[in-house]
Structures are given as structure tokens and as C-alpha cells.
Amino acid sequence: MIHVSRDHPPPGHHKTGYRRHLTRLVLTAALLAAMPSWASAVSVQEQVAEAMNAYLDAQRATGHGQVSFHSGRLDPRLRLAVCDQSLEINEGRPLNVNRGRQTVKVSCHGTSPWRIFVPVELTRRESAVVVTRPLATGDVITASDLTLSTVDANRARGAYYQDASQLVGMAVTRPLQSGELVTQRTIGVNAVVTRGDIVAIRSGGGGLVVGSTGEVQGRAGVGQRVRVRNTSSGKEIETIVIDNRTVEAIGG
């Protein structure tokens, strides 16, 4: 607060000049009192931090639940003028809660306009399926291999699961450590036929096995496509796997 003195004019000063000086002090005090809170910010870094905190608080209040936010600090060497208007954050748009790391645009539309980008990290906690023990490539998942745990969903590499029953019977496509999140990238259909297996070829659409056999040319699970070479004709055909001993010719 500026204190305005009411003492007599100092010696050697004209009364009119003193009154003008006094008037300037009063006007300055009035202007400072009328300025918004951001105008008293020590630096632009503090002004941006205050605006970012208010923006993130508003994001937390939108019902995202288990989402937490952390914004990066501005470089203390940044040389920008404190904005004489309220800062605009992200052009009024909300954050994308499905992205772990993103940048937020902070804009000043005041007398000396500027814009900067502030990094923000989001943690979105969800209940998801993880494995209870180490699993090797090719292991078939059982119910006892799975449990639910709270994880940072934004760090998941690939779609994750919240229903363990969906994964029972699936095969692991790469080694998993105990407690590791199960995603679409780490599991696949349990293969029941592999290259070189001899299977019966079913055709005709009536469930009749016509007596031909074939050699499987790939690896596939029930319901998946696999090419099979007819052992009699040598011709390769496209089939659907019925079980580990039977395939059905597509269009046959």
C-alpha cells in the first residue's frame, strides 16, 4: 500500500508543484488498488502458474474421477511481460484425459500479446487386468493367472482389459512379469493347429467331412483362417479352424 503524506511542502518547493506531486501519488494509489490480482504478480512465470492451477482445478471438477494432473514449470529465464488481461488457457478446450502427456497453449491477448506452451502430464487410474505370476510366450491363460489392479491407464501400450473372463484360454505372445498389465499386444488366440499338422477338411456346409485331408501351412486358433494343402491334389485352400483336428473349406 502506498502511503500519501500530508506534511507541508519541503523548503524550496512551490506549493503548486507539491500539489501536482501529491495528485500523482493519489492517482497511482487508486490505479494500483483497482488493478486485478494478476497485475501484482512478481513475474510472468507466477502469472502463468496461477492461471494453469485454476485451469487444472476446473478440469478436476468435471467428473473425470481418478485423473490427476501435473504441469511443468516455466523456464525462469523466460522474458515476457506480465499480461494486462486474464490469460487464455488451451483456447478454452478441456484436456484429453486419454493422453498421458500433452501441451497446453497459454495465450496473452493484452497490450503486448504472446503465447507459450506448457507441458502437462495426466495420470488416469483405472481398474484393469494384470497377471498374478510370470508367464512365458505361448502359455495359455487360466483364471488363476489373472487379477484386477489399479494402474495408470495412460501408460498402457495397447488396449487393456477390465474383465478377466475375456482372457481365459488366450495365449501369451510375449513374456509377462507378475503384476504386468495385459493388453491386446501381449495376448493372442490360443493356437490349436500349427504348420505341418494333418487335419480333416470339411466342406459342403452340411457338416460332412468328405474324406480329404490336408497339411496345415500356418498357425491358427479356433475360428481363425489358415491355409491348408490338400494331401491328395497338392492344392492349397483357405480354411477356417474348427478344432485341432478339423478345418472347414471357405466357400466349399
pLDDT tens digit sequence for 55-95 = 888 887 765 557 787 787 777 788 889 999 999 999 988 88
Pair type for strands 198-202 and 209-216: antiparallel
Q: What percentage of the chain reaches a pLDDT higher than 70? A: 78
What pTM does this model have? 0.52
- Tell me the per-residue pLDDT of 97-120, one tens digit each, with 9 for 90 and over: 878 888 899 999 999 999 999 998
For residue 3, tell me if it sits in a domain.
Answer: no
Q: Mean pLDDT, to the nearest integer, of 193-214?
A: 79
| Cell matching residue 217 | 501351412
Residues spanned by the domain of 108: 39-124
Residue 19 predicted with pLDDT over 60: no
Residue 49 predicted with pLDDT over 60: yes
Are 133 and 196 members of one domain? no
Domain at 183, CATH number: 3.90.1210.10
Higher pLDDT, 93 or 3: 93
Q: Mean pLDDT, to the nearest integer, of 241-252?
A: 86
Q: How many structural domains are present in the chain?
A: 3
For residue 213, tell me if it sits in a domain.
Answer: yes
The whole-angstrom separation of Cα 125 and Cα 243 is: 40
pLDDT tier for residue 43 given thresholds of 50, 70 and 90: confident
Of 124, 142, 175, which residue is a domain's last? Answer: 124
pLDDT tier for residue 17 given thresholds of 50, 70 and 90: low
Are 183 and 195 members of one domain? no
Are 178 and 236 members of one domain? no
- How many Cβ atoms are within 10 Å of 124's Cβ, its own excluded? 19
Sign of CA dihedral 208, 210, 214, 218: negative
- Start-end of H helices in 10-161: 15-34, 44-60
What pLDDT shows up at residue 6? Answer: 36
Q: Are 209 and 248 in contact (CB under 8 A)?
A: no
Residue 124 predicted with pLDDT over 90: no
What pLDDT shows up at residue 82? Answer: 92
- How many Cβ atoms are within 10 Å of 207's Cβ, its own excluded? 8
Q: Measuring CA to CA, which residue among 176, 168, 161 is closest to residue 126?
A: 161
For residue 12, tell me if it sits in a domain.
Answer: no
For residue 112, tell me if it sits in a domain.
Answer: yes
Are 184 and 164 members of one domain? yes
Are 209 and 229 members of one domain? yes
Sign of CA dihedral 79, 80, 82, 88: negative
Higher pLDDT, 232 or 13: 232
Q: Mean pLDDT, to the nearest integer, of 174-203?
A: 90
The whole-angstrom separation of Cα 89 and Cα 230 is: 66
Q: Mean pLDDT, to the nearest integer, of 176-194?
A: 90
